[in-house]
Amino acid sequence: MAATAVIPIGEYCMPPRKVPHRIRPTLDERLITARGFRRLDARGLAVPRNIFVEELVHTPIEEQGTEIVERKGIGHPDSVADGLAETVSRALSRMYLERFGRILHHNTDQVEVVGGQSAPKFGGGMFLEPAYILLVGRATTVVNGERLPYRTTAMEAARDYLRRTCTNLNVDADVTLDCKIGQGSVDLRGLYDTQKHLANDTSFGVGFAPFSETERLVLKTEELINGPLKKELKEVGQDIKVMGVRQGDSIRLTIAAALVDRYVPDKGHYASVIEELRERVIDHAARHTKRRVTVDVNTGDDPAAGIFYLTVTGLSWENGDDGSVGRGNRVSGLITPYRPMSMEAAAGKNPVTHVGKLYNILSFDIADRIVAENKGKVKEVWVRIVSQIGKPIDEPQAAAAQIIPEKGTKIASIRKEAEAIVDEELAKIYKLTDRLVAGKARVF
């Protein structure tokens, strides 16, 4: 660690401010600071919060006749791009912290996965041409004339992520990994490096709570297949996609699951694995819903024509399927067209001042708290937060919570508590940085 390094102003981002510990305020004390009034920060200066809470007149998701939910699994090419982008950001953050005690400017939210070519067959095929993965973005590469090992850090982190996530992939032989991360923009770094964390973009974040049964089922199904089931069904690879469609009280799950050819000797074994996977998912679904659940797996197969979802590595991108950051799951881990969503690609963005990342995660944190702390009073919550470039990240242009109250509950009875929750979560937005660097906040 360069303990004696002298870093000029404008070359680094100050660490999160330390706010003196105090006893948790009472609700009345908290309300003085909410409702968009000006409040006193830790330095005794008045700052705006711009908090708005209102009733949402809308049919709750569980009462709507139809619902569509999707999750791209961890081996899907878009998810691989997201995972690599976030992994590289975390690795650079740790490197900066170890050397300088603070996270320097970077954004690694541009990763491209270009599919290779393979020749899968029952009993084991082969990779013909390696896939190509390009790491792109901006980072602080030089401090005080010293060039940092940013490229080595990024490449090692990416290789390690691929080995841990894509367990049937020979990372050294089957992937060509390239890094074109360069130095960041001077203007953006100027905003990033101030003592008070300033938004580096005018952007918004969106969150909601609670998850519907269909949303929870789709998420848990992919986590089951790419989690506990791997020990029992090694034939199933990591490239999984789950699409949930609810019509009334019936849910249909359509699953695309890439099978690993060397573990599948013939068509009969392939069919038995598909049936076993289907039955296990149906059994698992009963833990999350009482609705009728139908499960279809690999509906694109045509056994008579010799068409099967068979791969060498359990990944579709071994044979031409491509992936990019931001094309897949939102920070909820899902794609939810029946809910408010942001198109922001959160993975790989810096964890200190990039509001496109922070506000999306914070919106879900706020929505979850409002629901959890108002049990029996709140049916559904939508949260939206919007920044203004150059302004402190804890002082958004607007932080709006729209609430669908339970029947018999007046919005006035929960408005103050909701306003106070929004205010508290904004005040501690700086803590999100530690969660992100530690990998404890979902971004895809």
CATH number of the CATH domain containing 120: 3.30.300.10
Structure tokens at 195: 């003592």
Q: Are residues 35 and 137 in the same domain?
A: no
Is 236 a member of any domain? yes
- Domain final position from 279, 303, 324: 324
In the predicted model, is pLDDT for residue 308 greater than 80? yes
Q: Are residues 140 and 96 in the same domain?
A: yes
Give the integer Cα–Cα distance in Å for 110 and 344.
Answer: 12
Structure tokens at 92: 């650079």
Question: What are the tens digits of pLDDT across the range 337-362?
Answer: 999 999 999 999 999 999 999 999 99
In the predicted model, is pLDDT for residue 12 greater than 70? no
Percentage of the residues of the chain whose pLDDT score is greater than 90 = 82
Helix (H), strand (E) counts: the chain: 10, 19
Give the integer Cα–Cα distance in Å for 25 and 363.
Answer: 22
Could you tell me the pLDDT band of residue 44, with boundaries at 50, 70 and 90?
low
Give the integer Cα–Cα distance in Å for 75 and 77.
Answer: 6
CA distances from 50 to 47, 95, 298, 422 (A): 10, 36, 49, 10
Is 442 a member of any domain? no
- Domain final position from 269, 304, 324: 324
- Residue 126's DSSP bridge partners are 119
Question: What are the tens digits of pLDDT across the range 144-199?
Answer: 888 899 999 999 999 999 999 999 999 999 999 999 998 754 333 444 554 568 99
- Domain final position from 261, 295, 324: 324
- The pLDDT score that the predictor gives to residue 143 is 86
Domain that holds residue 134: 77-192
- The pLDDT score that the predictor gives to residue 5 is 37
Is 12 a member of any domain? no
- Residue 253's DSSP bridge partners are 244, 295
Give the integer Cα–Cα distance in Å for 59 and 67.
Answer: 12
Q: What's the half-sphere exposure (Cβ side, CA atoms, 13 Å) at 140? A: 27
Is 432 a member of any domain? yes
Is 35 a member of any domain? yes
Please list, residue by residue across 222-254, b when 16 or more beta carbons sit within 10 angstroms of its beta carbon and e when fewer do: bbbbbeebbeebbbbbbbbbbbbbbeeeebebb
Q: Which has the higher per-residue pLDDT, 402 or 37? A: 402
In the predicted model, is pLDDT for residue 39 greater than 60? no
Q: Are residues 334 and 363 in the same domain?
A: yes
- The pLDDT score that the predictor gives to residue 320 is 84
Q: Are residues 336 and 306 in the same domain?
A: no
Are 103 and 93 spatial neighbours (Cβ–Cβ below 8 Å)? yes
Q: Are residues 86 and 127 in the same domain?
A: yes
- The pLDDT score that the predictor gives to residue 48 is 60
Q: How many domains, in total, are found in the chain?
A: 3
* CATH number reported for the structural domain that contains residue 316 in this entry: 3.30.300.340
- Residue 113's DSSP bridge partners are 133, 323
Are 122 and 32 spatial neighbours (Cβ–Cβ below 8 Å)? no
Cα 243 → chain centroid: 18
Is 389 a member of any domain? yes
Are 321 and 118 spatial neighbours (Cβ–Cβ below 8 Å)? no
Is 59 a member of any domain? yes
Are 140 and 11 spatial neighbours (Cβ–Cβ below 8 Å)? yes
- The pLDDT score that the predictor gives to residue 195 is 54
Q: Are residues 315 and 335 in the same domain?
A: no
Q: Which long-range contacts (CB under 8 A, 24 or more apart) does 9-12 make?
A: 9/193, 10/189, 10/190, 10/193, 11/104, 11/140, 11/143, 11/144, 11/193, 12/100, 12/102, 12/104, 12/105, 12/140, 12/143, 12/193
Over range 3-12, report the average pLDDT: 33
Question: What are the tens digits of pLDDT across the range 202-232?
Answer: 999 999 999 999 999 999 999 999 999 999 9
- The pLDDT score that the predictor gives to residue 144 is 82
Q: Are residues 124 and 227 in the same domain?
A: no
DSSP state of 430: G
DSSP state of 77: H
Could you tell me the pLDDT band of residue 47, with boundaries at 50, 70 and 90?
low
- The pLDDT score that the predictor gives to residue 56 is 97
Q: Are residues 308 and 335 in the same domain?
A: no
Q: Which long-range contacts (CB under 8 A, 24 or more apart) does 371-378 make?
A: 371/209, 371/210, 373/417, 373/421, 374/414, 374/417, 374/418, 376/406, 377/405, 377/406, 377/409, 377/413, 377/414, 378/403, 378/404, 378/405, 378/406, 378/409, 378/414
In the predicted model, is pLDDT for residue 26 greater than 80? no
Is 14 a member of any domain? no
In the predicted model, is pLDDT for residue 10 greater than 50? no
Q: Are residues 412 and 340 in the same domain?
A: yes
Q: Are residues 424 and 342 in the same domain?
A: yes
In the predicted model, is pLDDT for residue 32 greater than 70? no
* CATH number reported for the structural domain that contains residue 355 in this entry: 3.30.300.280
Mean of the per-residue pLDDT values for the chain?
A: 89
Are 418 and 72 spatial neighbours (Cβ–Cβ below 8 Å)? no
Q: Are residues 311 and 334 in the same domain?
A: no
Q: Is 379 helix (H, G, I), strand (E, B) or coil?
A: strand
Q: Are residues 339 and 318 in the same domain?
A: no
